[in-house]
Structure 1
Amino acid sequence: MNFRTVHYSVLLVLYVCMMTSCRKDEPNFPVGSDGAVNTWIREQMEQYYYWSSSLPSSRKIDFTPTAYFQSLLVKEDRFSAIMQTRQADTYGNTLLNTFGIDFLQVERPTGSVSLLSHIVPGSEGAKLALQRGDTVHSINGTPLRTADLPVLTQHALKNPSLALTLVDGSTYTLPASYISQPVVYPYHNFLLDADQKIAYLFLSTFDFSGAYELLKVVGDMRSSGVRDLILDLRYNSGGSVAFAAFTALALADVSPTDIFVNYKGNRHLNQLQETFGETLGRQPEGYSFSGSAVRESGLGLSRIVVLGTGHTASAAEMLINNLKPYISVIHIGEGTYGKDMASTTLTSPASVIGSEASWHILPMVYKIYNANNEGEYSKGLLPQRSVVEYATLPLYPFGDKRDALITDALTFLGSKRTLRLQRMSNLPTALPAAATLQFQSAPYEAKPIEIDFKN
């Protein structure tokens, strides 16, 4: 009896300790405080973050939410992000989406040269007949050869207009506005080689606003008997994964029931596998494309030549990698950006932030693989044919046969027109091997591959 009494007494003492003084209570932070937000952030990261097993063991959370979130990220995580609604500094503008242009600067032994590398169709610059390859002397009166280009670019974005002066002395005034690129860049003639039925298609991003235009172009290509396609994704930073599946079904010999993607996450998350048709089913509200209908009206190509660079990212890389189990994908250009992960957007509830502005975290939650479980391209997808687009001058407009990437693609496809072109006297002048890219104004920030856990 004495032993039993002591035993029960010890249990009672332990219970009381756990419920009261012997237990160090978890801090109870006021709603809307940094502590409340950081506690919520930690809980979400433990549940969803791909590297949840590597989260710091320290529970110290006396930081701002942004600093605390950053402290949780592993070294190899380049993409997880945090932002707060109405914080202007969490959103960025570029010359491309503000003035409709981009430029790059190449350094040569003879000095630097700055060239327009991108003109958005329909923008003021396009209306004024500016062209990719035009040589720029100054922006807002500051010569580019001697300027601090990142600072100059940021200052330019604060002005209501931009004065662009070319080396011939002509000046163009471009008003600031929000400029949205067309998904499918327009061309008067998509056939680069009518005899061999080689077509060209430039996709600036993956967005369903361009779905009907893409189907129209594909229909025209099909009517013309196109046998080979050069798909230009050199400046495509991604977008909708559903649109990537839509594009695959419209262009390639794949079935809606073929496996498009394998998503692999941490121990808390179910592994996801989706077919092309299932991924297309994630299309936004207002669209109802059928995988079988898109495929039936598509090109059904068994080979696609893709132009890719370090600006090719996210869903664009996913399209390249995840078509490989089914068709021949010839990547010409440079290594891609290397975004092989999917994120989700988690928003702080009212019980955490009260009347304060919401916090949104975008942790990386899945690694992306194709049907053959091939992935792991965080350092970029490497091309089969390495070509640098600024390796020849001048730069030429997208779709021009003299463009360095397009010329190589046509050569690979055996275009007789390209062989004739190579004998012409007005070929681009090759830059010295020492030429290097010094600056490119638009970051072409990789768009996230989003997984919605509510669906």
Structure 2
Amino acid sequence: MLLFLSLGLLFFNCKKNDDPVIEEEEILEEPEEEIIEVDVTVQSFIWQTMNAYYFWQNEVNDLADDRFSTFSDYAKYLTDFPDPVAFFYDELLFSEDKFSVLNENYRDLLNAFAGISKSNGVEFGLSRFAESDAIFGYVHYIVPNSDAATKEIKRGDVFTGVNGQTLTIANYEDLLFGDSDTYTLNMADIVDSAITPNDKEVTLTKEDNLVEDPLLVSKVLEVNGQKIGYLMYNQFAGGSEEQLNQAFGEFKSEGIVDLVLDLRYNLGGLGVTANVLASLIYSANEEELFYKVRYNDKIQGTVEPGFGETFFTATTGSTNGNTNTPLNNLNLGRVFVIATGGSASSSELVMNGLAPYIEVIHVGTTTVGKNQGSATFVDDPENGNVYNEERENYINPDNQWAVQPIIMLAENADGFSDYYNGLVPDIALEEDVENMGVLGNIDEPLLARTIQEITGASAKRTFDVQFPVNLVTSSKMFTPMKNNLIIQKVPSSTKAELLAPSKKE
């Protein structure tokens, strides 16, 4: 039996019984047997991967190494769960796990990690009306070169319906994130902190393979004689390291003294990209620890000392088409980060990883609280199911599913990782739906408040929020990239240890 199971079709004997009418003198015969085929390839791949790598493996009874006494027990168990999605989310996840993901096609995940998705280009939040099941949407930003970029819709616009139906808690998923690629937004106006539907409609169509530039805004602001770099970075997308380096090269040549890093809508991405960004801000000293990871008990006991430690870097790296370019790091002693409830994972990793070395001033609201990381696994038993782009031909062609489970906890150089409930702002300020402002403009409220802190200028402007958000969710939460810190270095010792049921008689 293979060390790592690709179970394929399990065969079980069942009795046919059509309950025929039997005459009194009829001789009773044993009903003939039929073979029932049960394909549990996907379920076996999921279980084996979770048993090997899942951070909470020892907290889930069905993932225990001694869960099955025989291979037959294991096989029968898998057949009880014909739906892989329900098997993964309902049976195998630890109760506190909010972030592990299963995807039917691993390429969807890989595209998302590179900033490629099926989208109409409107990134938005959904907020609940007070004491009501009705909700409304408000536009965060429009992705350039998208379908929405050709329509009359912009940041700060509000909508209350889709295809003539009022948005509610019960229907928004079907209307906005359902099977239809085209829908019409029913827009609304905000007057005196009240939302009133108007007659304007905007029809949008989702496009395949839309590539979003994660650097939405990069500019140098000059305020009261001070040069301030501003970078709005919306996803830690693989391949964007060279762009980041170029942006920081411009900051460096302009002689900026302070940097505002805007991560308010950044739900995460690749850990290697987070490492490059943190190094650009602080240091290229490859002997200083950026972060370290802790795996599940089974893995942690097998890894070599120092495995899982990531140090600051001096180059962009040579992955994802990068050319291993020296970094234009700024060697800053402080950084101002705009972060909110739409900031997670790799965004929080940058903030937490820099904290032992420089002052990180957080402006905005409490972040999501994702102090864990995941990796991508596919059906490639010889490589321990760890995805490797050089092994595409080894992935089981009959199983294209991917598991993106939480496999580690991230700690900074001080050993701090306790931000499960989010990173709390030093300067609290919510976005105001009635006054969203223009991103990168010095009058945009969150940026204006940050600049006020940087310059120490007299507080001539108040920042009272007239229409705060009662956030339900956002458009980015319905993409594979939601709340991800993706690590690419997985302990190799686990690759030869797959796993309990396959070793039983």
Q: What is the TM-score of this pair, normalised by structure 2? A: 0.70
Q: Give the one of 101, 107, 119 matched to 1:81.
A: 101
The match for 2:60 among 30, 36, 55 is 55
> C-alpha distance in 1, partners of 2:354/2:200?
46
CA distance in 2: counterparts of 1:99 and 1:50, whole angstroms: 35
Q: Structure 1, residues 237-267: CA drift from partner, whole Å, max 9, x if none?
A: 1112111111122222452331111111123
Q: What's the C-alpha RMSD, in Å, of the aligned pairs?
A: 3.8
Return closer, same or farther for 1:194/1:216 CA change in 2, 3 Å cut-off.
farther
Q: Does 1:131 align with 2:154?
A: yes
Match 2:425 to one of 383, 391, 400: 383
* Bigger fraction of residues in strand: 2
1:402–1:428 contact (8 Å) kept in structure 2: no
Give the Cα separation in 2 of the matches to 1:54 and 1:147: 33
Contact 1:84-1:360 at 8 Å conserved across structures:
yes
Q: Is the 8 A contact 1:234 1:307 kept in 2?
A: yes
Partner of residue 223, structure 1: 253
Q: How far 1:232 moved relative to its partner?
A: 0.3
CA contact (8 A) 2:241 2:316 kept: no
Q: CA deviation at 1:223?
A: 2.2
Report the counterpart of residue 302 of structure 1 in structure 2: 333
Aligned to 1:243: 273
Aligned equivalents of 2:216, 2:226: Cα separation in 1: 22
CA deviation after TM superposition for structure 1 residue 153, in Å: 1.5
Match of 1:331 among 357, 362, 367: 362
1:222 Cα deviation from its structure 2 partner: 1.8
Over residues 371-395 of structure 1, what are the superposed CA-to-partner deviations in whole Å (9 max), with x where a residue is unaligned? 11111322212212221113x6221
Q: Kindly provide the amino acid, as one letter, of the partner of residue 365 in structure 2.
A: E
SS of equivalent to 1:174: strand
Counterparts of 1:216 and 1:39, CA distance in 2: 45
- For residue 139 of structure 2, give the secondary structure of its aligned residue in structure 1: strand
Question: Secondary structure of the equivalent of 2:266?
Answer: coil
Deviations along 1:270-318, one digit per CA (max 9) or x if unpaired, are 252121229964x52421325xx20xx2222111010111111111111
Match status 1:140 vs 2:160: no
Q: CA deviation at 1:413?
A: 1.4
Counterpart of 1:300 in 2: which secondary structure? coil
Partner in structure 2 of residue 449 of structure 1: 486
More helix by share: 1
* Alpha-carbon distance change, 190 to 148 in structure 1, aligned in 2, over 3 angstroms: farther
Which residues in structure 2 correspond to 1:90-239 (within 5 Å)?
97-105=119-127, 107=129, 114-128=137-151, 130-136=153-159, 138-142=161-165, 148-155=171-178, 158-160=180-182, 162-163=184-185, 165-167=187-189, 169-178=199-208, 179-186=210-217, 189-191=219-221, 193=223, 195-239=225-269
Change (3 A) 1:136 1:321: same
* CA 106–85 in structure 1, closer or farther in 2 if over 3 Å, else same: closer
Task: Find the partner of 2:347 among 308, 316, 322.
Answer: 316
Whole-angstrom distance in 1 between the partners of 2:309 and 2:221: 36
- Other structure's SS at 1:389 match: coil
Aligned-partner Cα distance in 1 for 2:182–2:102: 29
**Residue aligned with 1:316, SS:** helix
Consecutive unaligned residues in structure 2, runs of 5 or more:
11-37, 69-76, 190-197, 386-394, 493-505
The corresponding residue for 1:409 is 450
TM-score by length of 1: 0.77
The answer to whether the 8 Å contact 2:441/2:447 transfers is yes
* Matched residue, 1:20: none
Paired residues in the alignment total 412
